[in-house]
Amino acid sequence: MNIVILGSGNVATHFAHNFQNKGHKITQIYSQQKANAQALAFTVNAASVSDTAAINLEADLYIIAVSDQVISNMVSALPADLRGVVTHCSGATDMAILAKFNRYGVIYPPQSISKNKETDFSLIPFCIEGNTYETFNLLFECIHEMAPKSIPCDSVQRLAIHIASVFANNFSNALFQISCEILEQHNLPFDLIRPIILETAEKVQSRLPNEVQTGPAIRNDTNTIKKHLNFIREQDDWKQIYQLLSQEIVKRKS
């Protein structure tokens, strides 16, 4: 399969390498930043382009791997009569944004992907959607060979996964940072709580979160909760977060 990658960042890089490793040909890497396109293109023996007018119109698959805010601009810049299937990789963007094309779909990896960190696609349940049965099958078979945990997923389900991922990943990381700052204020290293973070993450690999919930809120330990709130009394935002999350835990227990 001849593939054009539209983008040169984290997701684009991993898609380019994984598709090439499975025997597909990356014909072009597109980026507005010429140097970025060239850098990625060099690693997969592809041509680099920085002008949408130079994009190959005869590829089998086009992967729009850019930030959500730029997808619509990329779609507008592409001709509607592309021969191949046009896809994006976003969790929060409806497939309908690609409706100007004859064949289109979504290949969304619900994973935080970094350019310089190894990511094993075989462990990621890619979410696949296509505008027709035939398009879905083509995309699913193509992705399934390198990501066998892939699943069919419509735009509403994909958005649900994206929101759930924000709660589980982005928000939890923000809480890690608050924890880090509380410790730093008292000359303590973040290393002290890395084991408990890992312990919780490992528990939810085999059990549901509500089955492994611990802490003063689940025990209805109001004395400890008051001590905690008093300890962070000068940080109104942290107090609000603590109270809201404690209320959520108590609510789910009852």
Q: Which residues contact 151 (CB under 8 A, 6 or more apart)?
A: 125, 126, 127, 128
pLDDT in tens, 124-146: 999 999 999 999 999 999 999 99
Residue 254: per-residue pLDDT:
65
**Are 190 and 197 contacting, i.e. CB atoms less than 8 angstroms apart?**
no
**What domains does the chain contain, in order, with CATH numbers?**
2-153 (3.40.50.720), 157-253 (1.10.1040.20)
For β-strands 47-49 and 61-64, DSSP reports them as unpaired
Residue 116: per-residue pLDDT:
81
- Per DSSP, the residues of 10-78 read HHHHHHHHHHHHTT-EEEEEE-SSHHHHHHHHHHTT-EEESSGGGS-SS-SEEEE-S-HHHHHHHHHHS
CA angle at residue 119 from 190 to 147, to 5 degrees?
135
- Spatial distance between the Cα atoms of 179 and 169, rounded to a whole number of angstroms: 15
Q: What is the pLDDT along the chain (254 residues), one digit of tens a residue?
A: 999 999 999 999 999 999 999 999 999 999 999 999 999 999 999 999 999 999 999 999 999 999 999 999 999 999 999 999 999 999 999 999 999 999 999 999 999 888 888 889 999 999 999 999 999 999 999 999 999 999 999 999 999 999 999 999 999 999 999 999 999 999 999 999 999 999 999 999 999 999 999 999 999 999 999 999 999 999 999 999 999 999 999 998 76
Residue 115: per-residue pLDDT:
82
Tokens of 86: 């046009």
Residue 84: per-residue pLDDT:
97
